[in-house]
Structure 1
Amino acid sequence: MKDNKETSPPEENKEVTKPAFSNTVTVWIGIVSSIITIILTVYTTSNKVRLDKLENSLNERSTEIEESKERVARYQWVYSLYGDLNSTDVRRKNFAVGLITLALNDNESKKLFSALQTSTDTVLQSVGQSGLRALKASAINTELASLISKVDTSNTAARISAVGELEKKYASSPEAITQILNFYSNENISTLSPDGIINGLYFLNRTDPTVWSQQQVQQGQDIIQRILALKPGPNTEREVKKFRVILQTAAKGK
């Protein structure tokens, strides 16, 4: 019996297996915790993405509703001008047409006036024609202002292109002539570069003298004195001489 007791494993050896089991449990707990953390992170991120999309969708819808309300309000206001459009007072009617072009964007205005132009009602036809003319004039004025702003730009290519377009499209335009003449006003001429001065003259010298008014002729004569006072170079002086001829021809009338 004594020998059997001696062959039993020592107590120390039995306790050695306990830390190994504890470590295994700890490792698995860590793994499970990491997996749960990853799952929660993915779930939270996914929810946030869905919520962000939903919020963006709601914001877009809200914007669309506000824009729709704004359009309806503009259309109602335009409709309120119907009485003015039927007026026999031409100035009142034209004023109403102008207000419509301000209230509606270009696409809306074009659709409205084009539809009115095809109406069987002669009054509405007249309104449609007036509106389309107003839109065309507005587009021309926008382009003209853009070209004139480039006559004195520092970009040589843009400057040459602008003067060429002015000559090609607006040589017979009294409005273009007036705007270029205003280029040389007392307040503005000192700010012009030599290139700007000669470019303006270049265009004026290629305009149709028959469309000039006497007021424009007088304005041109005043401009010559302002330019000469700046002591311009020989190229500008040559354009000034040509400008005198244009003014003399224009002064004779059509």
Structure 2
Amino acid sequence: MAFPETRIGFIGAGNMARAIIGGLLQAGHRPASIAAADPSGEARDRARALHPGLRLSDDNLAVAKGCEALVLAVKPQSLPAVAAALGPRPAGQLLLSIAAGARLASLRRWLGAEAALVRAMPNQPALAGAGMSVLVAGGGLAPEQRALAEYILQAAGETGWVDDESLLDAVTAISGSGPAYFYLLTEILEDSAREMGIPAELAARLARQTAYGAGLVARDSGLGLAELRESVTSPGGTTAAALASLEQAGYRAIVAAALRAARQRAVELGDAADDH
């Protein structure tokens, strides 16, 4: 379902908001139907560079009053004050929060029990239109509002829904923080390539293109990850030697422990947000 004329507002015009706005524009959304508020003139200028027809302001209230969907794209610690200053909003307005750690119960407390709420966890590859966002709906959301929330975030990549909000803590550990894990592995590949004598420019290309290509194959081949791994691994070969070394070092257990630590931190941050 497309909503090219729907008035969509953003509170905050940082990197994630601009990624979504850019995706909406590429999808054919009318620029004049997109508004964003940010106190930073630099952030507004960067948003304006996406399209001169966007409506940009430093007034949150003006943006909030004039849209059918409002995306809350501010730091979670700023959200209580931002919400308190919004005041009455248009009837039926969708509120889509991408503030990390801000749970639906807190959002209702700050924005009103009657608010049509969706909470979402996007991730950094949204900046390249290749993000993964997971959404959870608050109670009383109309089907059209659910579709609108999905439309907004699909502008920056793929989307999925969960019914259990607590799963967003695990989502945060997997896809929210996940890009950093892949960057670290790619960084190790690049550094090791240089240590082995490969020129720096080629080392960077080898590591990054390998990460990019493996991601595409994993996404598009339709094959299981174990099957793909085995397809690269010849008995007694170089890949087998590398994987055996990783397994001996406890690679799987190390990564699993890291994911549990990330999930626990997500729980703690959510608890802290609930206290505000």
Normalized against structure 1, the TM-score is what? 0.25
Q: Computing the radius of gyration over CA atoms, which structure comes out larger, 1 or 2?
A: 1
Q: With a CA cutoff of 8 Å and minimum separation of 6, indicate the structure with the bigger relative contact order.
A: 2
Larger strand proportion, structure 1 or 2?
A: 2
Normalized against structure 2, the TM-score is what? 0.24
